[in-house]
Amino acid sequence: MTGETIRITCLNKQYMYEGCCSTCQLADTYGYSSHLTREVQKYLNFTSVMVPSNGFGSYRDGKWNGMVGVLLRGEADVSPLDFSPSATRATVIDFGLIFGTDPVVIMSMAPKEMINPFLLLQIFSPELLGVVVVVVATVGCILWLVMKTELAIGGTNNNLPLITLYDTVSSALKIYVYQAGKLWGVDVAGRMISVLLMLCALVFGSLYTGSITSFLAIPNKAAPVNTPEDLVATDMIPAVRSFASAYNFLMPRKNGALGEMRNRMEDYASSQMTSWDFLSRVADGTYALVDTQSSVVGRIQRFELIGQVCKFYKSKSNMYVDLDAFAFQKNSPIKYQFDEVFRRFRSYGLIGQIQKQYYEVACDRSSSSDGPQPMTLEQIQGVFYIFVVGIGLSILGFMLEYMVTIFNSSKD
């Protein structure tokens, strides 16, 4: 093939074959497919002529349009784009060696941090808090019984004051929140139970303090959209490209999460889905973009910046996996030479390295940090709510004790 001229049909698609035009050279174009083609050119040493096209190719009105039509009419020799092999296309053109995969993913808004003013009050479950209250009341009752028993049998502390059940429960509660109870004098049994209760309080307090630290250190974010089931559980509208892979995949679906996505989806022209006017509605949660990874990442790349908070989130699981292959004229002799080069590329891992340069989201690549940052008022606002609640409970407890004391005095 050395010295031969190869006619290359191209599509001016972002991060794929940018700069494609009839007067351009292969070296003037930019993108994943352009990069792969230039690497093949180094091995096969051919010259190129660019033949622009307006789409991948579909069968409309009795004829093929786009790059399939260009190949079929003999106007180009190869279409080096991430073509999706299909049975209908394979009847009129040949596909080369599968050199990569392009999964269909869901691109949605980045999970937002959840701000819950009473989050710190929800660290322990209601059941656990109920157990704490029961333990406090039970220990208070035990202390009261110990007191009564020692008075009945003539305990060692003759100066031990008469303590009611209310006093013992209140004393136990105070001990539980790190207040020293002074009602028990030097009574051995009472002190042993008090020490045990204090130990429990220390353990409980340590767990609570550690949980608060973890909540402040690890942001609590909303659940991301990783699967079709996650998507249909939200109000987001699935947005797909008209007649693209995801569109053709969803159209026949009738049941389950995919059927729900098909009923709710809206389709748009490719040109409509590249502007910030549209993508901003993905970033705010109105739409979820459902398309091949190369397409969705290519669209959002210029709106995600290194070091900034991500605006978009790419699902971890794939709806299905599309295949990438170059397309050729039927029975083209150059197909086998391209295939041999791609076998070498795959064994060297070159294709994956090239793909990372174009389809890795910029904000995900940021790993630098300025170190620990001061906590904001928004992060610790729960502490102030707890403070207010604690002061309120303290005042309420004081008023109850005062009322009980007045009531007891009136009886005397």
- Considering the domain boundaries, does residue 18 fall inside one? no
Task: Report the relative pairing of strands 237-241 and 287-292 from DSSP bridges.
Answer: parallel
Q: How many domains does the chain have?
A: 1
What pLDDT was estimated at residue 287? 96
Q: How far is CA 191 from CA 59, 158, 196, 234, 334, in A?
A: 89, 16, 9, 56, 92
- Considering the domain boundaries, does residue 409 fall inside one? no
What pLDDT was estimated at residue 179? 43
241 sits in the region (left: phi over 0; alpha: psi -120 to 50; else beta) called beta
Question: Where in the sequence is the domain holding 200, given as residue range(s)?
Answer: 119-219
Rounded Cα–Cα distance for residues 367 and 360 (Å): 14
What pLDDT was estimated at residue 185? 47
- Considering the domain boundaries, does residue 410 fall inside one? no
- Looking at the chain, how many residues does it have? 412
- Considering the domain boundaries, does residue 346 fall inside one? no
Q: Quick one: 253 exposed, middle or buried, by C-beta within 10 A (0-12, 13-18, 19+)?
A: middle
Rounded Cα–Cα distance for residues 204 and 123 (Å): 12
What pLDDT was estimated at residue 147? 66
- Considering the domain boundaries, does residue 86 fall inside one? no
Say what the pTM is: 0.61
- Considering the domain boundaries, does residue 306 fall inside one? no
Which residues of the chain are modeled with pLDDT < 50?
176-186, 365-368
Take residue 16 and report the two structure tokens written for it.
């794929």
- Considering the domain boundaries, does residue 33 fall inside one? no
What pLDDT was estimated at residue 12? 78
